[in-house]
Chain A
Amino acid sequence: MTIGEPAAAIEARLAAAEPYRPDTIADGGTAFGLTVRAASVRGLYKRYTGGPRQDDLCLRLHADSGTLIAAVADGVSGASRSDLGAALAVRYATAAVARQLDDGCGSVDWGPVFEQAAWALVEEHRRACGDAGAGVEEASGSLATTLLVAAVRGSDVEVAAVGDSPAFLLRGKVYDAVVGEPERFDGLVGGGVDALPRSAGAAFASRCSLESGSILLLCTDGLAMPLAGGAGEVGATLARELARPPDVVDFARLLDFSRSTYDDDRSLIAVWGPAR
């Protein structure tokens, strides 16, 4: 799918990453009355250079509480193994939320969730470099990643983030920021991003209600940038195509739209609320 001026057509190179990083992942299904679609696609630039996808996502179900736990992460490109950082962060964070639910917590205590995800990055860095004394700063140099996590139980949504991966509620054609804010059109882009493990304490959280007819969107800035708050043609296209949950593969293809100058990795988890 092309939205606006297309990006250049290129032949994608396989990514020589260790561990293996597929170009695209797509997932989806229903659970606890919720319908979920999830995809993470490698950006055009990394397809051109042969770099690995540095975004990742994770879905986890907590059966006892009927909770869907979802996370997306965007590895910081300046960090040499941030693809692994993103993969670890989403898995450890969703597991940390599940452990809290096991303990019967009524609401998520986000501080420990981000701390545990950050700690997983430090541990991996220590293992990889063989330095048991390596700390957060060293791990930030190799595994830095943003992290956005949500716990959805019925229509109750708890969501928290470190960094610039935003969450939105989409109602009709309107995108409301839940965590993060729409692209501002009045300032310059860039200037820094909070990331794990360094900024584990900089998490911000929010709650919202996933009413019938609304869709929770968790995404990385590879989508948030062209979405730009949802007022333009990317927002209109997504809103139209997500009015009903698409087929899983179609969802990934939708996320992989071509648009000139937007060639970063993109990840999106969409959750449709319970029917009335």
Chain B
Amino acid sequence: MKIKLPSNMRTGPPTGAGVPEPPEPVTTPVGEPATTPPAGPAAPVEPVVPPPVAAPGVEPEPSPATGSKPGLWAGEQTPAGSVIGQVLPMYFVGDESHSMAGEPIAAVNQGLIDLRDEVAKHPLIGKKVRFGIITFAETAQTRLELSELSEDLVLPTLSPRGRGTSYASALEALRQTIPADVALLKGNGYQVHRPSVFFLSDGLPTEKPEKWQARLAELKDPSFRERPNILAFGVGEADPEVIGALASSPRYGFMMTQGASTAGAIAEFAASMLNSMVASAERLDRGERTIEFEKPEGFVQLDAPLV
């Protein structure tokens, strides 16, 4: 929620019998308030059922959770104005290119299993978080539609595939998926917090820089109402400059410490993603920062001063 003070003062209560005059501010805000209302028209309150993600360069894939509908898609749709809960969407966007073969990809898969199990065990945060998985190699795939992390959720097993590493396809998939997911959650009666993306790569994009940079600019565009917080993590041969560019804030870019084990760093990354999920869900109501995150062991924060 995070009240937008200036606009509410202008709006005032609706008219009606015995309704007070529109309120007048007696003090003037110093500078701009911390938040501004989102631009653009209201999101549709009518339930919206988006088609499966099919961004250009994105291969649709059946949900791995065959037989159990992900939590997001379940439930009765609620009438307009009726709110049933609040949720924080979080996406893991992972590199599935061939360079991840072996221990690194195994560490990702184990990290995701641990994440699911820990969240499912927690009595409070499981209901507040929705988790999705998008992977990329030469194309992007939605491997897990935004879901509640319950213990019976079937996770995809990531494995190296294809040739190339297309950041553009992953960023495009996010640009397509996030608004559709947010609209669906709202249609189902949820208050939706700003989504967060955990982006993990072990190499350089194999496409022209202009291509992925253009997709990134679209994702970060301030006029894109559902633009996510992006935390970017580079392991292996990833380029710190590229990882830093992906992050939505300089403090959200992280590179594996030189000489560290890639698989070990990925395990630390996964543990930090879990911690972030717990901390962010705990503070969901407050909203002073939507995403809580601490640097994982074995990583360097890219905006930290060089030593």
Give chain A residues whose Cβ lies under 8 Å from the Cβ of B152.
none
Interface pair B26/A164, CB less than 8 Å apart: no
* Chain A interface residue count, Cβ-Cβ cutoff 8 angstroms: 73
Q: Which of A183-241 contact B (CB under 8 A)?
A: 183-195, 199, 201-209, 211, 214, 221-222, 224-226, 228-229, 231-234
Which segment, of B211-219, B264-272, B278-286, faces chain A?
B278-286
Q: Report which of A78, A161, A185 forms a contact with B286, defined as CB distance below 8 A.
A: A78
For A10, A77, A214, the residue with the greatest tally of chain B CB atoms inside 10 Å of its CB is A77
Given contact pairs A185-B45, A188-B226, A191-B35, A261 touches B26 in the complex (Cβ within 8 A):
no
Interface pair A261/B29, CB less than 8 Å apart: no
Interface pair A187/B37, CB less than 8 Å apart: yes
Please list the 3 inter-chain residue pairs (A to B) with the smallest Cβ-Cβ separation, ordered nearest first. Answer: A206-B23, A264-B285, A176-B13
Give chain A residues whose Cβ lies under 8 Å from the Cβ of B42.
185-186
Complex CA–CA separation, A35 to B14 (angstroms): 25
Chain B nearest CB: distance from A132 CB in Å? 25
Complex CA–CA separation, A177 to B38 (angstroms): 19
Give chain A residues whose Cβ lies under 8 Å from the Cβ of B33.
194, 202
Interface pair A192/B128, CB less than 8 Å apart: no
Q: Does A121 contact B (CB under 8 A)?
A: no
Which segment, of A41-49, A62-70, A89-97, faces chain B?
A41-49
Give chain B residues whose Cβ lies under 8 Å from the Cβ of A110.
26-27
Interface pair A184/B127, CB less than 8 Å apart: no
Given contact pairs A5-B84, A187-B38, A193 touches B194 in the complex (Cβ within 8 A):
no
Interface pair B20/A186, CB less than 8 Å apart: no
Given contact pairs A166-B3, A207-B23, A225-B86, A190 touches B282 in the complex (Cβ within 8 A):
no
Interface pair A185/B81, CB less than 8 Å apart: yes
Hey, what's the 0/1 contact readout for B191-205 against A, CB within 8 Å counting as 1? 111100000000000
Interface pair B124/A226, CB less than 8 Å apart: no
Q: Report which of A176, A183, A259, A264 forms a contact with B191, defined as CB distance below 8 A.
A: A183
Complex CA–CA separation, A259 to B27 (angstroms): 36
Q: Which residue of A lies closest to B227 (CB)?
A: A188
| 18 further contact pairs, Cβ within 8 A, besides A204-B8, A261-B127, A262-B85 | A5-B84, A7-B124, A44-B124, A77-B282, A111-B27, A177-B11, A181-B3, A187-B38, A189-B287, A192-B35, A193-B2, A193-B287, A193-B288, A211-B18, A222-B285, A260-B84, A262-B86, A264-B286
19 contacting pairs across A/B (C-beta < 8 A): A8-B123, A10-B123, A48-B123, A78-B288, A78-B289, A111-B26, A180-B8, A188-B194, A190-B2, A203-B27, A206-B25, A208-B13, A209-B20, A221-B1, A228-B83, A259-B85, A260-B127, A261-B85, A262-B285
For A45, A161, A171, A191, the residue with the greatest tally of chain B CB atoms inside 10 Å of its CB is A191
Give chain A residues whose Cβ lies under 8 Å from the Cβ of B2.
164, 189-193
Q: Does B210 contact A (CB under 8 A)?
A: no
Q: Which residue of A lies closest to B9 (CB)?
A: A204
Chain B nearest CB: distance from A235 CB in Å? 9
Q: Does B249 contact A (CB under 8 A)?
A: no
Q: Does A29 contact B (CB under 8 A)?
A: no
Q: Does B186 contact A (CB under 8 A)?
A: yes
Give chain B residues whose Cβ lies under 8 Å from the Cβ of A22.
none
Q: Does A160 contact B (CB under 8 A)?
A: yes
Interface pair A171/B8, CB less than 8 Å apart: no
Interface pair B191/A228, CB less than 8 Å apart: yes
Q: Which residue of B lies closest to A200 (CB)?
A: B30
Q: Does A88 contact B (CB under 8 A)?
A: no
Give chain B residues whose Cβ lies under 8 Å from the Cβ of A233.
82
Q: Does B230 contact A (CB under 8 A)?
A: no
Complex CA–CA separation, A45 to B282 (angstroms): 7
Q: Does B69 contact A (CB under 8 A)?
A: no
Complex CA–CA separation, A166 to B86 (angstroms): 19
Give chain B residues whose Cβ lies under 8 Å from the Cβ of A181.
3-4, 7-8, 11
Q: Which of A232-263 contact B (CB under 8 A)?
A: 232-234, 259-263
Q: Report which of B5, B6, B8, B191 forms a contact with A189, defined as CB distance below 8 A.
A: B191
Interface pair B192/A169, CB less than 8 Å apart: no
Complex CA–CA separation, A224 to B303 (angstroms): 37
Q: Does A33 contact B (CB under 8 A)?
A: no
Interface pair A221/B285, CB less than 8 Å apart: yes
Give chain B residues whose Cβ lies under 8 Å from the Cβ of A228.
81, 83, 191
Q: Does B275 contact A (CB under 8 A)?
A: no
Q: Does A120 contact B (CB under 8 A)?
A: no
Q: Does A179 contact B (CB under 8 A)?
A: yes
Q: Which residue of A lies closest to B34 (CB)?
A: A192
Chain A nearest CB: distance from B307 CB in Å? 25
Give chain A residues whose Cβ lies under 8 Å from the Cβ of B86.
189, 225, 261-262
Q: Report which of A77, A187, A231, A264 forms a contact with B82, defined as CB distance below 8 A.
A: A231
Chain B nearest CB: distance from A229 CB in Å? 7
Give chain B residues whose Cβ lies under 8 Å from the Cβ of A207.
20-21, 23-24
Chain A nearest CB: distance from B108 CB in Å? 28
